[in-house]
Structures are given as C-alpha cells and as structure tokens.
C-alpha cells in the first residue's frame, strides 16, 4: 500500500466524515478554490507542517491509501519555489480511502516532530 498524507484539522475532518467526502484543498482553501487537494508523501509532511502550520494545535494528518482514492492523483512539481514532487488529488477525497489519522506532536521549540508511525509507512 502506498500512503500519501492530507493535512487537515479536527473540525474539517469531522465534517468530511459526516459527508463521506473531503473537499478541502488546504486548511484555508477548498477544492473549488484550487482545483485539487494538496497532499504530501510521509517524508515531506513534517517540513511542510513546520513551514505553514507551526502556530496551530488542531492539526490532524489523514493517512490515505492511494489505491482506494476514487479521484485522479497526479504527482507534480511543487507550485512554490521549494521544488520536489507532491501528490495532488484532482477531485473529492472519499473518506473510506483514509485508513488512519495521526495528531502530530511538537518539540518544546514549537516544531512538529516525525510521528513514530511514519517509520512503518
């Protein structure tokens, strides 16, 4: 199984579970705003969290089985100057493709740390 990670919040994930579909592109933008859902590979996730969400304490990471996603997934160059190839989901994410969630923890300096579960992915 290949895993990608979608960064969400408790409230967004709770809403998606009720609707059976996740339609946020990022925490602050929707699929309709952007055209796809941003995701990361497990090894890209913590650096991205520390760049964009170090001030948040409500982050939940959705572990997504790419084989169960009904919408098209494209692995594309970053839209920013960071470089790298990132997974983009071009359509809604069916919640049954999310096989687990992780609440990331932080160091004393406020930086997120790599979850132990990522070692198994």
CA dist 4 and 86 (Å) reads 9
CA dist 7 and 104 (Å) reads 10
pLDDT value, residue 82: 67
DSSP 92: P
* Residue-number span of the structural domain to which 8 is assigned: 3-116
Structure confidence at residue 81 as a pLDDT band (50, 70, 90): low
Could you tell me if residue 10 is inside a domain?
A: yes
C-alpha closest to that of 8 among 51, 43, 38: 38
Taking the CA atoms of 4, 9, 12 and 17 in sequence, report the sign of the dihedral they define. Answer: positive
> Mean per-residue pLDDT for 43-71?
95
Total structural domains within the chain:
1
> Mean per-residue pLDDT for 78-99?
89
Could you tell me if residue 121 is inside a domain?
A: no
Could you tell me if residue 43 is inside a domain?
A: yes
Could you tell me if residue 87 is inside a domain?
A: yes
Structure confidence at residue 110 as a pLDDT band (50, 70, 90): confident
CA dist 119 and 55 (Å) reads 25
Average pLDDT, the chain: 93
Q: What is the CATH number of the domain that holds 88?
A: 3.20.170.20
Could you tell me if residue 17 is inside a domain?
A: yes
Instruction: Give the global pTM.
Output: 0.93
């Amino acid at each position: 199984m290949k895993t990608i990670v979608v960064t969400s919040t408790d409230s967004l994930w709770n809403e998606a579970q009720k609707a059976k579909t996740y339609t946020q592109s990022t925490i602050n933008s929707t699929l309709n705003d952007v055209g796809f859902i941003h995701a990361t590979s497990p090894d890209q996730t913590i650096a991205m969290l520390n760049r964009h969400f170090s001030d948040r304490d409500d982050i939940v990471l959705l572990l997504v089985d790419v084989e169960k996603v009904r919408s098209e997934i494209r692995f594309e160059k970053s839209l920013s100057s960071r470089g790298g190839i990132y997974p983009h989901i071009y359509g809604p994410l069916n919640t049954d493709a999310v096989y687990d969630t992780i609440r990331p923890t932080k160091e004393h300096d406020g930086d997120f740390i790599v979850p132990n579960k990522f070692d198994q992915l």
